[in-house]
Amino acid sequence: MSEEEPGLEYALRGKAWKVYWLLLKRNCPMSVREVQRALHFSSPSVAHHHLEQLLELGLVRKEDVGGHYRLMGEVKIGVLRHFVKLGRLLFPRYFFYAVFSTTFYIAYLLVLMQGFTRENLFILAFGAIVSAVFWYEAFRFWRLKPI
């Protein structure tokens, strides 16, 4: 963790965190009104306040033409440490582990397993537990995302 991350983690909370997450997820410039509508804020001034807060933190820049706000870069703080961005989609890291372990578990069941020996029963139980744990963790982090 760098020196500035604790300060960013403190500054990026509540609605500012939701605005940052929205800009990260959309990956395109957004106006104050678009942010207000997307996050159901009571007025554009609330969205403007939080966008300006992100501007002061150096996380967004305001475009000269149109006044749209664009994300400058990613910071890996809070729950965001546990997410991977692919294009416009954000996935919990555990999602990939879950897919990988489940794929190999099913492949073993369909291709390699030849009877119910003690070793095969151990592999069945172990594979099921590992896959279940990864799916549980992926779902748990998915529920922690702000929007």
Kindly list the distances between the CA atom of residue 4 and the CA atoms of 7, 8, 22, 23, in Å, as whole numbers in the listed order.
5, 6, 22, 21
What digits encode the pLDDT tens for the residues 69-99? 888 877 666 667 778 877 777 888 899 999 9
Whether this prediction's pTM lies above 0.95 is answered by: no
Residue with tokens 């967004």: 60
pLDDT-based confidence at 27, cuts 50/70/90?
confident
DSSP reduced 3-state for 129:
helix
- Domains in the chain: boundaries: 5-71, 82-144
N- to C-terminal Cα distance for the chain?
Answer: 25
- Tell which CATH architecture fits domain 5-71: Orthogonal Bundle (1.10)
| Predicted local distance difference test score (pLDDT) of residue 17 | 82
What digits encode the pLDDT tens for the residues 28-66? 888 999 999 999 999 899 999 989 888 888 888 888 888
DSSP reduced 3-state for 85:
strand
How many other CB atoms are found less than 10 A from the CB of residue 9?
Answer: 15
